[in-house]
Amino acid sequence: MIPRLVILVMVLGFFSCQKEKKQEITSGKSQKPNIILILADDMGWSDLGCYGSEISTPILDSLAYNGLRFTQFYNTSKCFPSRAALLTGLYAQQVGAGRTWKNPWVNNTTIAASLKKAGYLTWMSGKHHGIDVPTDIGFDKYYGLLSGAANQFNPGNQRPGEAKPARKRIRPFYIDGKRHEPYTPDSTYYSTDAFTNAALKWINASAKETKPFFLYLSYTAPHDPLMAWPEDIAKYRGKYIVGYDAIRKQRFTRQKELGLIPENFKISAPTHMFWEDLSEEKKDEEDLKMAIYAAMIDRMDYNIGLVMNALREQKKLQNTIVLFLSDNGSSAEVVKIDGDGKIGTVGQWTSLGSDWANVSNTPFRMYKNNSYEGGINTPAIVSWPKINERGKIDDTFYGHFIDIFPTLLDATGHSYPKTDSILPLEGKSFVDRLELASGDSKKRHSRPLFFQWKTGAAMRHGDWKIVREGTEQWELYNLAEDAGETHNLAQHIPEKVAEMDNAFKAWQKRVTTDD
């Protein structure tokens, strides 16, 4: 394994000469940019170092500090609707993925299909969470998990000398164009490493290729089951014995220091248990769970570094757009499956739980499956040589997964197809946010965004947001003053609630399909 420090030095070496390359890249004479779209699974807003975490993520941090970070970028609060929105530029409800992943997507084309027509090589490695095989929706090559969560070490049958792999059910995998159900890899398999290795295989095989490429690298980390290599877990074991509140406060303080949130930010009320109420045995178990979760993110960052280094060696990194997102907030879901009891290993399915999820989503409220900020606000990093202000934090723009497709079309100089069989894009390009001159960096965009998953629903327009769970009444927040969603203004400004409720109902009627 290449040492992390070596990879980091190599990647930072690239950034040190990036400025000199910029004129060449932006002159219009160079190739179309390569694109790497990286998606984490169930990762909270504060889980990267560049978003306030104590977890070691030097590769993603370097991309952020030499690129752009957004503080208000949204997913759908759930795995498969986020993936549908990301690839199609439409709301998940419009493509038949608003309630289930078991329907073929309709009314759409994908980023991959559009870029393929424009001459791009298109690859996907990792989790899809849809019934359509990625090679049928625009990808030249696909390796990975077709549906939801799977055992990180062995998604298939028991291997000789090992515990029975913990799993919910058999999950379909696609390997070299063939469907495997179950897929039983050898003992060197670990999902994050395997997904990266597939991508590296394609990158290295196309080293002399003049065509640009689009790589969608969709990790299952740090989604449960919590499983990691022992050496990665060891880096974090004991770090979390200080408890939920201490780590949450550390992250909150660091976020202020980084300039991600203002000094007067009102943090949401904690929902985690009191650490002092836990037994010593339970504290040790909780420390272990969070250490494994951290190790999964650490390993993902290392693997991203391998991809960056491969491109650096091919002298392609200076002409590559890299985007990093998470499909929803950290998860409070707890899956209970009988296993061998050895947390972090192939034989035991362990979930993070609501207490640590509350910490992971610092400073926001609630978790995955909810439409509060903790469920829908993702860390969002863009690295691109055309970015004028390296290390900038954009805290005025708010975007959504549906915006990625049109943005990449703009960045590559291609247009969206207009046919009767596909809907027009819902997303809006934010290329201008990447290329803004310094004096324009506070320019605001204002357009409505809508959210609906299971019992949760929300709408944002400008600084105003309505949100609810189940049959509860709408709550109203001014996110410019209260992004922690601590002070409900619904009773004080009922006319604003009524106005936004009408807009939400109109959107709901417009986008709903019979899925």
Residue 393 sits in which domain range? 4-22+31-447
CA nearest to 332, candidates 367, 289, 281, 376: 367
Report if residue 141 sits inside a domain: yes
Burial 303-313 (b: 16+ CB within 10 A, else e): bbbbbbbbbbe
Task: Name residues of the chain where pLDDT drops below 50.
Answer: 19-29, 437-439
Query: What's the length of the chain?
Result: 515
What residues contact residue 8 under an 8 Å CB cut-off, 6+ apart? 58, 59, 62, 305
What residues contact residue 338 under an 8 Å CB cut-off, 6+ apart? none
Our CA angle for 154, 157, 160, nearest 5°, is 90
Q: Which two tokens stand for residue 291?
A: 């250490």
Beta carbons within 10 angstroms of residue 63's beta carbon: 26
**Number of structural domains in the chain:** 1
| Residue 17 is a catalytic residue | no
Choose, from 79, 223, 272, 461, the residue flagged as catalytic.
79
Report if residue 320 sits inside a domain: yes
Report if residue 276 sits inside a domain: yes
Report if residue 511 sits inside a domain: no
CA nearest to 258, candidates 424, 369, 379: 379
The DSSP code for 242 is T
Report if residue 460 sits inside a domain: no
> For the purposes of burial, counting CB atoms within 10 Å of the CB of 46, is it exposed (0-12), middle (13-18) or buried (19 or more)?
buried
Report if residue 162 sits inside a domain: yes
Report if residue 475 sits inside a domain: no
| Residue 79 is a catalytic residue | yes
391 touches 50 (CB < 8 A): no
The per-residue pLDDT for 176 is 83
Half-sphere exposure (CA, 13 Å, Cβ side) for 365? 19
Report H helices in 212-363: 230-234, 244-258, 280-313, 354-360
360 touches 330 (CB < 8 A): yes
Choose, from 129, 223, 400, 461, the residue flagged as catalytic.
129
334 touches 30 (CB < 8 A): no
Return the SS3 of 216: strand
**Whole-structure pTM value:** 0.94
Residue bearing tokens 């027509």: 117
CA distance 13 to 6: 11
198 touches 107 (CB < 8 A): no
Please say whether the dihedral angle defined by the alpha carbons of residues 220, 222, 223 and 225, taken in this order, is positive or negative.
positive
What CATH number is given to the structural domain containing 337? 3.40.720.10
Report if residue 356 sits inside a domain: yes
The distance between the two most distant Cα atoms of the chain, rounded to a whole number of Å, is: 66
Over residues 76-113, the pLDDT tens digits come to 999 999 999 999 999 999 999 999 999 999 999 999 99
Burial 212-244 (b: 16+ CB within 10 A, else e): bbbbbbbbbbbbbbbbbbeebbeebbeebbebb
Q: How far, CA to CA in Å, does 222 sit from each of 12, 151, 182, 317? A: 25, 12, 22, 26
178, β-bridge pairs: 175
